[in-house]
Amino acid sequence: MAAAVAQLAEAGCDTPRLDAELLLADALGIERAQLYTRAVDSDEPPGFADRVRRRASREPVAYITGRRAFRRIDLAVDRRVLIPRPDTETLVEAALDLPQGARVHDVGTGSGAVALALKDERPDLRVSASDASPDAVDVARANAERLGLDVEVNVARGIPAGEYDLVLANLPYVREDEWDGLAPEIRLYEPRGALVSGIDGLDGIRELVASAPAGTRLALEHAPGQAEEVRALLDDARTLRDLSGRERVTLGSAR
Ligand SMILES: C[S@@+](CC[C@H](N)C(=O)[O-])C[C@H]1O[C@@H](n2cnc3c(N)ncnc32)[C@H](O)[C@@H]1O
């Protein structure tokens, strides 16, 4: 274990001990907390060295273990989809106080994180989801089925035709010139098309807002520095802050 931690620290991983523990637990087929509550053989289990080698190449832990916790659910993830981020919890929160039975659509669902977490916490809502990437739709559908959550997921670019009380979207919003400076975990492993959106990062959001029927209620995740520009695209706009207190999700109506 000590050698694995040293190897990950040497490779530049930010949290080498945590990562090594997660990989050890995964190789043993147990939860990380159980490493402390039950006797674990001091011999390293088969597959641990390979997991550490992958992490030392800066592959994200979530792709190695194939899972990521998001709010109350555990999602299967792989390189076809973005790894859900804690910041995106704010987008789920934007829909939690909708009235009973409201219709919500999640555009750019990726692993299904937002739509599935919402359905899990508000089973009364009618939740659907879509993504332009057929690969992502496969991942999201498999997650919906495994979690037993009734969310229909379809391949579509933009907002599919339908009546929605709220459209949620965590579309790509990274600027093209930011890409080369991103951590290797992102740049070398996550799908670029799930992250980058033109010179100022706002191409996807502008296209979505422009295509939305007038009056459509939208909640859009964005970078903190983009909040003012996103508010300017919408009527009655207001911005929610993420867990770190940064402007992260803007709500408003399409014109
Ligand atoms: C930043 S990822 C977010 C994934 C997921 N919602 C999450 O929060 O983890 C953006 C997703 O939007 C999809 N996407 C990009 N442009 C799109 C568009 N115009 N219409 C639908 N989906 C789009 C990408 O394929 C990708 O899965």
If you measure from the C-alpha of residue 249 to the centroid of ligand 1, how many angstroms do you get, rounded to a whole number? 15
The verdict on the CB of residue 133 being under 6 Å from ligand 1 is yes
Q: Which atom of ligand 1 is nearest to the CA of 91?
A: 8
- Cβ of 131 less than 6 Å from ligand 1: yes
Q: Is the CB of 113 under 6 A from ligand 1?
A: yes
Burial (0-12, 13-18, 19+ Cβ within 10 Å), 3: exposed
* Ligand 1 pocket check for 197: Cβ under 6 Å: no
CA–centroid distance, 110 to ligand 1, in Å, is: 6
Q: Is 114 in the pocket of ligand 1 (CB under 6 A)?
A: yes
- The crossing angle, in degrees rounded to 10, of helices 48-56 and 16-28 is 150
Whole-model pTM over 0.85 = yes
How many whole angstroms from 167 Cα to the centroid of ligand 1? 13
60 ligand 1 Cβ < 6 A: no
Distance CA 169, CA 114 (A): 9
Q: Are 47 and 54 in contact (CB under 8 A)?
A: no
- Residue among 167, 202, 173 nearest 94 (CA): 167
Q: Which atom of ligand 1 is nearest to the CA of 157?
A: 20
| Atom of ligand 1 lying closest to residue 133 CA | 25
With a 6 A CB cut-off, is 159 part of the ligand 1 pocket?
A: no
What is the C-alpha to C-alpha distance for residues 12 and 247, in angstroms, rounded to an integer? 29
Render each residue's pLDDT in the chain as its tens digit; 255 residues. Answer: 899 999 999 999 999 999 999 999 999 999 999 988 877 667 788 999 999 999 999 999 999 999 999 999 999 999 999 999 999 999 999 999 999 999 999 999 999 999 999 999 999 999 999 999 999 999 999 999 999 999 999 999 999 999 999 999 999 999 999 999 999 999 999 999 999 999 999 999 999 999 999 999 999 999 999 999 999 999 999 999 998 999 999 999 999
Structure confidence at residue 253 (pLDDT) = 98
What residues does each domain of the chain span? 2-57, 80-253
CATH superfamily of 80-253: Vaccinia Virus protein VP39 (3.40.50.150)
